[in-house]
Structure formats: C-alpha cells, structure tokens
Copies of this chain bind each other. A is one copy, B any other.
Amino acid sequence: MIHSTALISPKAQLGRNVKVGPFTVIHDDVVVGDETVIDGHCEIGYPTALAQGAALIIGARSLIRSHSIFYQGSRFGDGLVTGHRVTVREKTSAGEGLQIGTLSDIQGHCEIGNFVRTHSNVHIGQKSKIHDFVWLFPYVVLTNDPHPPSNVCVGCEIQKFAVVATMSVVLPGVTVGEGALVAAHSSVSKDVLPHTVVGGSPAKFLCEASKIKLRDGSGQSAYPWTQHFTRGYPESVIKEWLEANGNQNA
C-alpha cells in the first residue's frame, strides 16, 4: 500500500488502508484518514513555522493526485479530492467533499465549507471565506490586498451555491451573494446580490440568475443549478436540494 520509494515519517499517522505512491514525502505532523489515496511525487505536511506546530489533517476516503503539496497546519473533512499539483498552505480549514482542481493554489488562513469545488488553476488568497456548494472555475483569483503591497488583508466571501466563471478576479473584501453568478473574464469590485448575474470589468448587474435558460432545449432555467446538476454529490444532499427547489417552484 505504501510504495517502497515513498518517504514516510514515523511520526505521521496514517489510517487503515492508506495508499501512498512512489517518490512521495510525508512529513512529521500529518494525520491521514482511512482509505485515503495519496499519489506519487507529492509532499504532504510541508513544514512551516507559520503552522505553530499544528498538524495537517486529511479526512477519510480522500484522493490526492500526483505532484501535490500540502503544508502542515490545515484541516480537511472526509472525501477530499484533488487534481494534480495543487498547493495548499497552512491554517486553512475545509469541510467534507472539497474538490480542488489541478494547479490550484489555496494560500492559507481560509475557511471553506462543504462540497466546494474548484476547477483548474484557481488561486484562493489568504483569509478567503467560501461557503457550501460554491463553484470556482478555471483561472479564478480571489484577492485580499486592497492596495498591494500592504499589511491590510481583507479576504473575499463567496456565499452558498455561488458560481464564479473562468478567469474572473474577485477584488478584496467583496461578497458574492448566495446563488449568484459572476460571468467569465470579469473583475468584481462591488458586492454581488444573491441570485443575480454580474459581468464585465468592472462587473455590472446583467440580469437575475433565473433568467438564464439551459441550452439543452428544455426551456428550464439554468439557475439555481441544483435543479439540473447533481453529479458527484451525496444522495442526502441531492434530496435536500430537490426539496428546496420544489418548495421554491411550488
């Protein structure tokens, strides 16, 4: 289960049936849950004084793909799945079912809810706050310094079910409301109201999210996306969504 070329600290605590791939390094302050798979060429529990001695905790049934780096001092619920070459720094905490896309970079000191998903190459600045069921698409950046460089750090807040599309920047301290959509290639300088669509640079109100129709010939609204997209979420979560959407539509 542990490849012979992997270098595992005797102080690391690995659960039952954990697999570790070739050339992966696991440092001292690491706790890995049962049934988790860590691919090759990773570095897990990268030591940093900034973690103030806290361990890296990775939940059960997780999958960390190759060439990824996790610092000491962050904590992830069960069912974490990453692409390749992700970087996660210290003092971030995430709920269950987080998916982090290839090359994404979470800078630390972030609070991340349950079942959040980032696509490839997403950059999440320090002190970002991301609620349950949020989606961040490729090359999205959440910033935090209102006048760089400075010592002021004001993270963004992305609320439940909100979606930030490809190559958009969310400026420091901005809140993207529940169920809102930021269109691709936008720069968001003001708070986004729940269930609205904004776009452009600087981003402006475009329409209510419910006005966007699915391009599948159904005539159905594309938002809330939970009405038509459920791939990979647990049955219990999907059931809750169905009920909420049913009540809303009733």
Task: Give residues in A with beta carbon < 8 Å to B.
Answer: 5, 7, 21-23, 25, 39-41, 43, 46, 66-67, 69, 83-85, 87, 102-103, 105, 107, 117, 120-121, 123, 125, 135, 137-139, 141, 143, 146-152, 154, 163, 165-167, 169, 171, 184-187, 200-201, 212, 214-216, 222-223, 225, 228-229, 231
By beta carbon, the residue of chain B nearest A203 is B185
Tell me which residues across on chain B come within 8 A of A102, comparing CB atoms: 87, 105
B67, B85, B152, B222: the one contacting A150 at CB < 8 Å is B222
Contact A163–B150 (Cβ < 8 Å): no
Identical copies in the complex: 3
Cα A41 to Cα B66 in complex, Å, equals 10
Top 3 A-B pairs, shortest CB-CB distance: A147-B222, A185-B187, A169-B185
Provide 29 A-B residue pairs closer than 8 Å at the C-beta atoms, listed in order of the A residue: A5-B7, A21-B25, A23-B23, A43-B66, A43-B67, A66-B69, A67-B69, A69-B84, A85-B87, A87-B102, A105-B120, A117-B149, A121-B121, A123-B139, A125-B138, A139-B139, A143-B166, A147-B214, A147-B222, A147-B225, A148-B163, A149-B225, A149-B229, A151-B231, A152-B216, A171-B184, A185-B186, A185-B187, A200-B201
Tell me which residues across on chain B come within 8 A of A185, comparing CB atoms: 169, 186-187, 201
Task: Say yes or no: A225-B143 contact (C-beta < 8 A), given A41-B43, A169-B166, A185-B187.
Answer: no
